[in-house]
Structure 1
Amino acid sequence: MNIFLLGATPSISSEPGEDPLFKLAKTGGNTGNQVIAYGLLSRIAYESVAWDYRVDPKEVHERYDMIVIPAANFLFPQFDFGGMAHYIEQANLPVTIVGLGAQSNNYNPQIDLMPGTERFVRVIAERATSIGVRGPYTQEVLAKRGVHNVTVTGCPSYYMGGSDGMNLRQLSFDEVKRISINASRDVIGHSFDKQKMKRLVLDIYQTGITHGADFVAQSEHAEIRLAEQHPSSTDDEMKEIGSFLSDVVPHEAVREWVKKHLKVFFDVPQWLDKIEQYDFVFGTRFHGCMVALQRGVPATVICHDTRTEDMCKFLGMPHVSILELSGIDLQDLYERAGATNVAQRYGELYPQYMEFLTKNGLTLRS
């Protein structure tokens, strides 16, 4: 089977010395997007796969058998997927879509979407055997629009380990030495509680600095430029981070931490390999924590909106809502990771996911 990807892509090409923000743009503005596509492709067999959107959709129709969409939080009021809907219509091929998510700061299924995104929903509903969605909330959002050929799958990144599943390391908290954190200063505005979200993000950074933890950036421009130590980075990026943390961490402490502990990964296999060096990962980034779980590293997601919480609940991932936290307690977060039986839930969901892929006309990887 020849597959054409729309949506997230598993890798990017870049030139030596390329501005990291140019590379970030190729990922769709978030390095976690690559984990979605990488995870989806890891479970299916194909003869060829491509994702050059400059190709005329009529050529796509001639050269490929199916459009496959590794999806993210597409159902968000500020996103317009009319262009993708038009491309799919022009290509006129069957569609498989996995991981479609609705993003909101509450669980009201009657969210407003742009006309282009409403059109996108209609187009995929017509062409997909079943739409794979992130969680029950997204299923409700689609049901309100009369779309019922839907299967709750969670995110395809969850299944990249195949039949081996997830087997987390068992360390006592006293043995936890190497920590990685993740958080985002750019999602505060659409969280369950803006003020609480800001306090917790500040607390995540502060905890990371106190414990000498590494910070893995996914969409944060200043952090990514500094992590790559690109010539285009200036003291402005350092000032931006220092200003954000000015009320909780002295500027000099921020500066010293930034020099040693900021990381970014534009290559998924490298990210997976590097994450193994840590004993615990936590933060607000679903895919930053997912990468850790895939390599047996305990991780806890701090959920800040429906796009993260809906998935975590369905997939049985260690998580806690920002609404439940008054601050960051490292031991509490670590114990939450150990208290969740991820392996058991994975064992339940994996065969269902394989069946979903098969019903949508995909061939499973042996």
Structure 2
Amino acid sequence: MGFEDLYKGVGHNNGNLAFVHAIASHVGNETKFFPWHASPDTLKREADIIVIPCANQLGPHTDLGSMADRLASADLPIVAIGLGAQADNTAVDIQVSEGTLRWAQLLRKQAASSAPNIYTRGTYTTEQLEKLGIAETIPGGCPSFFINQQPKLGEKIWKNWNANPLPRLISVAGGHQAWGRTRDIEHQLISMMMDPMSPGQYVVQSMGDMIKISRGDFDTIEEKVLANIHAHTVPHYTREEFKNWCINYARSFYDVPSWMDSLRRFDLTIGSRYHGVALALQAEKMGLTVAIDSRTEELCQNTGVPFIRAAECTAPLTRAKLKKLINFDPVAYDRIRSERAALYIDFLKNNHIKPAVFLQKIVEG
């Protein structure tokens, strides 16, 4: 399959696979899958209710007016799961386009019942929606919190984390080449990842050009962009050495089971991509997110994923320092996961969605 087809299939970010895979496993009803541009006639003919796996759609970077028009024409009940707001930090309010505001208003309007039908990534998103006049949403977190179907996940993560005094094998959840403020952090993580006795991997999720380096598609990347990626990763290498480094270390995944199987090989996954880190915990291994904005911080706070703000991630970064930075309480993690699963089950039932049986097992612990 060509790159453009793959890139379109993952919604222009491989991290989207995590929550789409999760929601698909949570819904016990008969399901069909449609692209976001599906026509109103197709939806009316094929569906009784629309479940939308959401991301950080609330922000100045989107204009969802066209989708709002299609959903309005379809006139079916809607359930939105995992909706997030994006701003520089949680102390500021989001800005949204008229089209995205209309889309968010329509989601709430077309509820399947009188119960809340929008499950947000956390209290920040819920508060931002309220400021936009959209009330009664459920601040729950990301549904990828429940990819692993077993209870007591925190205990398993903790046991694996303490198998060695220091993490040896490291997987880096690679950031965006334009994120200059995290570049020094990225360089240090890459240096640790490249330990000759315990070589790791550099997993890329977005944007397209960053993903292309994992496939060796260098000729399709504009020179200026390629130079920026080079500077963001291994600037001390020559261009040919950089390309060889990409082939040896850069990886991208196009299904969740393969991604998680890879992460199981590593003691620690660290980086600025929330879902790239969260999948490690679902694979029973430790993760640490370098939070760069309100979106990543909110997700971590609501799903128990350890995080450190980028501004607090000061040099030098060593394996010993990372061990100290990670504040993980397995008992608290399992308690939060149980509570969130109970909240999620109620949300699904109230919106005429049959929850998967394993969700109740997570509640019961």
TM-score of the alignment, normalized to the shorter chain, above 0.5: yes
CA 1:296/1:107 → structure 2, altered by over 3 Å: closer, same or farther? same
Q: 1:314 is matched with which residue? A: 302
CA 1:259/1:52 → structure 2, altered by over 3 Å: closer, same or farther? closer
The answer as to 2:10 corresponding to 1:27 is yes
Shift of 1:320: 0.9
Checking the alignment, whether the CA contact within 8 Å between 2:72 and 2:106 is kept in structure 1 is: yes
Q: 1:198 is matched with which residue? A: 183
Alignment of 1:107-146 (within 5 A): 107-108=90-91, 110-128=93-111, 129-130=115-116, 131-146=118-133
Shift of 1:223: 4.0
Alignment of 1:236-315 (within 5 A): 239-245=227-233, 249-251=236-238, 254-315=242-303
Specify which of 102, 106, 109 is matched with residue 85 of structure 2: 102
Shift of 1:322: 1.0
Q: 2:362 is matched with which residue? A: none
Letter of the structure 2 residue corresponding to residue 111 of structure 1: I
Letter of the structure 2 residue corresponding to residue 291 of structure 1: L
- Structure 1 window deviating more from structure 2 (227-236 vs 61-70): it is 227-236
Q: 1:8 is matched with which residue? A: none
Q: Tell me, what secondary structure is at the counterpart of 1:102?
A: coil
The answer as to 2:76 corresponding to 1:93 is yes
Aligned residues: 342
CA 1:231/1:312 → structure 2, altered by over 3 Å: closer, same or farther? closer
The answer as to 2:334 corresponding to 1:343 is yes
Shift of 1:350: 1.5
Q: Tell me, what secondary structure is at the counterpart of 2:83?
A: coil
Checking the alignment, whether the CA contact within 8 Å between 2:178 and 2:228 is kept in structure 1 is: no
Q: 1:7 is matched with which residue? A: none
Q: 2:138 is matched with which residue? A: 151
The answer as to 2:64 corresponding to 1:81 is yes
Shift of 1:106: 2.4
Letter of the structure 2 residue corresponding to residue 268 of structure 1: V
CA 1:253/1:337 → structure 2, altered by over 3 Å: closer, same or farther? farther
Q: 1:9 is matched with which residue? A: none
Shift of 1:41: 1.3
Alignment of 1:67-78 (within 5 A): 67-78=50-61
For residues 126-170 of structure 1, give each alpha carbon's deviation from its aligned partner in whole angstroms, at most 9, with x where no partner exists: 123421111111111011122221101111111122352523023
Q: Distance in 2 between matches of 1:318 and 1:347?
A: 17
* TM-score (structure 1 length as normaliser): 0.85
Checking the alignment, whether the CA contact within 8 Å between 1:163 and 1:350 is kept in structure 2 is: no
Shift of 1:35: 1.0
CA 1:88/1:281 → structure 2, altered by over 3 Å: closer, same or farther? same
Checking the alignment, whether the CA contact within 8 Å between 1:184 and 1:220 is kept in structure 2 is: no
* TM-score (structure 2 length as normaliser): 0.85
CA RMSD of aligned residues (A): 2.5
Q: 2:200 is matched with which residue? A: 213
Checking the alignment, whether the CA contact within 8 Å between 1:70 and 1:97 is kept in structure 2 is: yes
Checking the alignment, whether the CA contact within 8 Å between 2:169 and 2:266 is kept in structure 1 is: yes
Q: Tell me, what secondary structure is at the counterpart of 1:50?
A: coil
Shift of 1:253: 6.1
Checking the alignment, whether the CA contact within 8 Å between 2:87 and 2:93 is kept in structure 1 is: no
Shift of 1:361: 1.5
The answer as to 2:46 corresponding to 1:46 is no
Letter of the structure 2 residue corresponding to residue 325 of structure 1: C
Shift of 1:360: 1.7
CA 1:343/1:217 → structure 2, altered by over 3 Å: closer, same or farther? same
Checking the alignment, whether the CA contact within 8 Å between 1:95 and 1:127 is kept in structure 2 is: yes
Q: 1:330 is matched with which residue? A: 319
Q: Distance in 1 between matches of 2:55 and 2:320?
A: 31
Q: Tell me, what secondary structure is at the counterpart of 1:104?
A: coil
Q: Distance in 2 between matches of 1:77 and 1:53?
A: 19
Shift of 1:103: 0.5
- Structure 1 window deviating more from structure 2 (215-224 vs 335-344): it is 335-344
Q: Which runs of 5+ in 1 are unaligned?
A: 1-14, 189-193
Give the % identical residues. 25
CA 1:54/1:234 → structure 2, altered by over 3 Å: closer, same or farther? closer
Letter of the structure 2 residue corresponding to residue 304 of structure 1: I
